[in-house]
Amino acid sequence: MKYSSTRGGAPVVGFEEALLAGLATDGGLYVPQSWPGLSHDEIKALAGLPYAELALKVITPFVGADFSRSELQAMLADAYDGFTHKAIAPMVQLDSNDFLLELFHGPTLAFKDFAMQLLARLMDKALANKGRRATIVGATSGDTGGAAIEAFRGRDNIDVFILHPHNKVTEVQRRQMTTPSEGNVHNIALEGNFDDCQHLLKALFNNHDLRDELQLAGVNSINWARIVGQIPYYFAAATALGAPHREVAFCVPSGNLGDIFAGFVAHKMGLPVGKLVIATNVNDILARTLETGRYETKGAVATDSPSMDIQVSSNFERLLFELSDHDSQWLKSFMDDFAQNGVGILGDQVHDKFKKRFAAHRLDDAGTGQTIARLQAQSGYIADPHTAVGLGVAAMMRAQGEIAASMPLVTLSTAHPAKFPDAVERATGEKPFQPETIVAQKELPERFTVLENDFDVVAEHIKKRARVLTACS
């Protein structure tokens, strides 16, 4: 499998290079040159397989010859080994045709573990094969950082620097990042919001000298391997509910669109997916874009679902590339317009295609709290606020007839409620149950450095600490 940049100005690379590079050299995102297809029978045969076996079948075509089948098989088994539920991605039934896909049984209690646990193993192996070191720099609105640090802590060939917005993540999220004591883990609390973190990250990667000097590698969902790690659970859920004979719709609490883009890829591979529903909080750039065809940033505000407090959605670029039939030139001018004026216009053709496959809606904090309370009253089930945004929007889709009553609708549960105890307590009147790992982290010392939102300050901080530069060889 070969990968090219959405902006058409970077060399075509294999999986391993796309994995290590993250962002392409022309500022675009890597996408496969064609979509591998699974036949009706192949999809049928996935039903009921153990999760790691299903994942192997779904992921293999993306990896090509860069890792052997047995290497990939071992990495997948190992990646899911730290999950606390044997099904890895179990489903809960809420109504005749409404389901919740629980993606929070990994070590940091959010769906990001699915991709990150695999990514860390792939990167470590790729670097070891090349006898190289790398410096990982990532930006987080809360969950990516914890998942990355958990996956990369103590790895010999990799240093990990994570930027999080100072005072804008929950205590549980912060402790997951700041309590690992390994020397290769570095936390930067940036004085700014998540979009500032993401902006600074892009600037680091776009500085080619720095990028080469530090051997920068990205773990945000701009990294193609992150998307790959999230495709299998769409197949697992849909085949459990009757695919490929039956279409299944998904509702996905969204920010950077990495998660739902994986569902779009599953559809491209042949999975019969009904509507893909983008659920956002009041940071609703995607819902507005679907409605109006104008991609226009308004600045992020803090909500009870902080991992979705995003106004510039990095994977939207991959989606636009697809919806425009791989028109790099159009995409480049769209992204340039957006960068310069804060507005990009989809145009009728792309907008129509967007509306055909996707639906979108927003839910504010009050609606999110009501959704948590209602579900608890009905069934005793406690959902986290991100999941509740999804459930509230899913209910709207049913009510509006956007998704037929006969079609199964799976809402992705992206985090464990214990990660967001304050919002859950406000909605239900009680703190959610705290798993053992969270309790243990309260006793551990924290390490992080507060830095101003300034390129040079952050770059210097990283250069002083990255072993790529400091280790004598």
Ligand X SMILES: *Cc1c(COP(=O)(O)O)cnc(C)c1O
- Residues 25-84 contacting ligand X, CB under 6 A: none
Q: Does 409 bind ligand X (CB under 6 A)?
A: no
Q: CB of 126: closest distance to ligand X in angstroms?
A: 23
- Give how many residues touch ligand X by CB under 6 A: 16
- Of 66, 159, 195, 259, the one binding ligand X (CB under 6 A) is 259
Q: Encoding tokens for residue 435?
A: 């798993």
Q: Does 254 bind ligand X (CB under 6 A)?
A: yes
Q: Does 375 bind ligand X (CB under 6 A)?
A: no
Residue 239 or 413 having the CB closest to ligand X: 413
Q: What are phi and psi of 70, to 5 degrees?
A: -70, -35
Q: Does 251 bind ligand X (CB under 6 A)?
A: no
Distance spanning both ends of the chain, measured CA to CA: 34
Q: CB of 404: closest distance to ligand X in angstroms?
A: 25
Pairing of strands 294-296, 343-345: antiparallel
Q: Does 415 bind ligand X (CB under 6 A)?
A: yes
- Of 258, 274, 408, 432, the one binding ligand X (CB under 6 A) is 258
- Of 16, 113, 143, 322, the one binding ligand X (CB under 6 A) is 143
Q: How big, in percent rounded to 5, are the helix, strand and coil portions of the chain?
A: 45, 15, 35
| Cα–Cα dist 414/105, whole Å | 10
Instruction: Decide if 397 contacts 276 (C-beta within 8 A).
Output: no
Interacting span for ligand X (CB under 6 A) from 15-23, 256-264, 346-354, 366-374: 256-264
| Cα–Cα dist 155/165, whole Å | 25
Residue 240 or 319 having the CB closest to ligand X: 319
Q: CB of 310: closest distance to ligand X in angstroms?
A: 7
Name the nearest CA neighbour of 249 among 394, 369, 90, 362. 394
Q: Does 112 bind ligand X (CB under 6 A)?
A: yes
Q: Verify whether residue 332 is a known catalytic residue.
A: no
Q: CB of 212: closest distance to ligand X in angstroms?
A: 28
Q: Does 110 bind ligand X (CB under 6 A)?
A: yes
Maximal C-alpha separation, the chain? 64
Instruction: Decide if 410 contacts 251 (C-beta within 8 A).
Output: yes
Interacting span for ligand X (CB under 6 A) from 164-172, 255-263, 316-324, 444-452: 255-263
Instruction: Decide if 76 contacts 118 (C-beta within 8 A).
Output: yes
- Of 157, 324, 371, 414, the one binding ligand X (CB under 6 A) is 414
Helix ranges (H only) for 168-269 are 171-178, 194-206, 208-213, 224-228, 232-240, 258-268
Instruction: Decide if 420 contacts 253 (C-beta within 8 A).
Output: no
Q: Does 140 bind ligand X (CB under 6 A)?
A: no
Give me the sign of the Cα torsion angle 25, 324, 225, 144: positive
Q: Does 386 bind ligand X (CB under 6 A)?
A: yes
Looking at residue 324, its amino acid is S
Instruction: Decide if 369 contacts 304 (C-beta within 8 A).
Output: yes
| Cα–Cα dist 106/83, whole Å | 4
Q: CB of 147: closest distance to ligand X in angstroms?
A: 8
* Bridge partners, residue 190, by sequence: 165, 451
Instruction: Decide if 395 contacts 322 (C-beta within 8 A).
Output: no
Q: Does 307 bind ligand X (CB under 6 A)?
A: yes
| Cα–Cα dist 51/88, whole Å | 7
**165 sits in which H/E element:** strand 158-165
Q: From the CA atom positions of the chain, what is the Rg in Å?
A: 21
Q: CB of 252: closest distance to ligand X in angstroms?
A: 7
Interacting span for ligand X (CB under 6 A) from 28-36, 248-256, 424-432, 449-457: 248-256
Q: How far is CA 53 from CA 58, 75, 457, in A?
A: 9, 12, 45
Q: Does 255 bind ligand X (CB under 6 A)?
A: yes
Q: CB of 110: closest distance to ligand X in angstroms?
A: 4
DSSP assignments along 123-149, one per residue = HHHHHHHHT--EEEEEE-SSHHHHHHH
- Of 27, 253, 263, 369, the one binding ligand X (CB under 6 A) is 253
Residue 324 or 414 having the CB closest to ligand X: 414
Interacting span for ligand X (CB under 6 A) from 45-53, 188-196, 254-262, 328-336: 254-262
Q: Does 102 bind ligand X (CB under 6 A)?
A: no
Give me the sign of the Cα torsion angle 75, 386, 436, 153: positive
Q: CB of 424: closest distance to ligand X in angstroms?
A: 13
Catalytic residue among 86, 112, 275, 353: 112
Q: CB of 353: closest distance to ligand X in angstroms?
A: 20
- Residues 210-239 contacting ligand X, CB under 6 A: 221
- Of 19, 177, 257, 418, the one binding ligand X (CB under 6 A) is 257
Residue 97 or 223 having the CB closest to ligand X: 223
Site residues (vs ligand X, CB under 6 A): 110, 112, 143, 221, 253-259, 307-308, 386, 414-415
Just list the catalytic residues: 112
